[in-house]
Amino acid sequence: MTAADKFGIAFSIGFTVALIVIALSLGAADKSAPATPVAPAPMPVPAPVEEAPEEEMIVEEAPMEEIPEEEAPIEETPEEVPTEEEPVMEEEHTEEEHSEMVMSADVSIPEGTSTPGCEADNACYIESEVTVSVGATVTWTNDDTAAHTVTSGTPTDGPDGVFDSSIVMSGATFEHTFEEAGDYDYFCIVHPWMTGKVIVE
Ligand SMILES: [Cu+2]
């Protein structure tokens, strides 16, 4: 009885102590458990951060939809503008028809015309043929180093007496006002290959 009882008591005490130890260890585990929830606490923080981008995405999409709407009106405007410009162009053509009067023209006697060759390209007077209105004044400028003339008529038939510049020195000019409509051929007495024409309408 005594030995068995002592052993039983001792075992009971030891078992109790073991339970206490286990209980304490579990308690410690429970205490450490709350520490874990503390860690998850930061988790909610990133969550709002993720929501922010979603709002930004929505904000970006909104402007994208507004821009196309703004472009649409812009495209409509250009369509209307050309329609308005076309009538304007027609008006300009009409004005040009009424303002076709060419009251002046400039003709150059280019460098090198004292040597034959310019006649091949009708370039002895530039332009070799000009069209002006009645009452217009044509001015010839000698841009060559040699002297030339601007004489009405043709090399074949000679001067017709309508106008004659006589010798025009390098850098000098000659002008004639045409009071009557008609075609006026002219040439250079010094260099008969040089020919030109003034058409007066
Ligand atoms: Cu000449």
The CATH code of the domain that includes 167 is 2.60.40.420
CA of residue 198 relative to chain centroid, distance: 42
Name, in order, each residue with C-beta under 8 angstroms of 191's C-beta and a sequence gap of 6 or more: 113, 114, 116, 124, 148
Q: Which domain holds residue 146?
A: 104-200
Confidence (pLDDT) at 24? 42
CA of 39 to the centre of ligand 1 (A): 106
Whether 95 is in a domain gets the answer no
Strands (DSSP E) contained in 97-157 are 104-109, 129-132, 137-142, 151-154
**How far does the centroid of ligand 1 lie from the alpha carbon of residue 149, in Å?**
6
**Residue 126 falls inside a structural domain:** yes
The band of 23, judged by pLDDT with boundaries at 50, 70 and 90, is very low
User: Ligand 1: distance of its center to the CA of 187 in Å?
Assistant: 8
Residue 58: pLDDT band with limits 50, 70, 90: very low
CA angle 135, 188, 137 (to 5 degrees): 15
Q: How far is the CA of 122 from the centre of ligand 1 (A)?
A: 14
Question: What is the per-residue pLDDT for 4?
Answer: 53
In a domain, 116, yes or no: yes
Give 201 Cα–ligand 1 centroid separation in angstroms. Answer: 27
**Lookup: tokens for 122:** 């009708």
Inside any domain, residue 156: yes
Q: For residue 16, is pLDDT > 80?
A: no
* 140 domain residue, yes or no: yes
Number of domains in the chain: 1
Would 157 be classed as within a structural domain?
A: yes
Q: Separation of 106 CA from ligand 1 center, angstroms? A: 17
Confidence check: pLDDT of 61 > 60: no
Q: Measure 195 CA to ligand 1 centroid, in angstroms.
A: 9
pLDDT at 100: 80
Distance 197 CA to ligand 1 centre (A): 15
Q: Is the pTM of this model over 0.75?
A: no
Cα of 189 vs centre of ligand 1, distance in Å, is 7
DSSP structure string for 47-80: HHHHHHHHHHHHHHHHHHHHHHHHHHHHHHHHHH
Residue 99 domain-assigned? no
Nearby residues of 122 by Cβ (< 8 Å), 6 or more positions away? 128, 129
- Tell me the CA–centroid distance for residue 131 and ligand 1, in Å: 22
**Is 176 part of any domain?**
yes
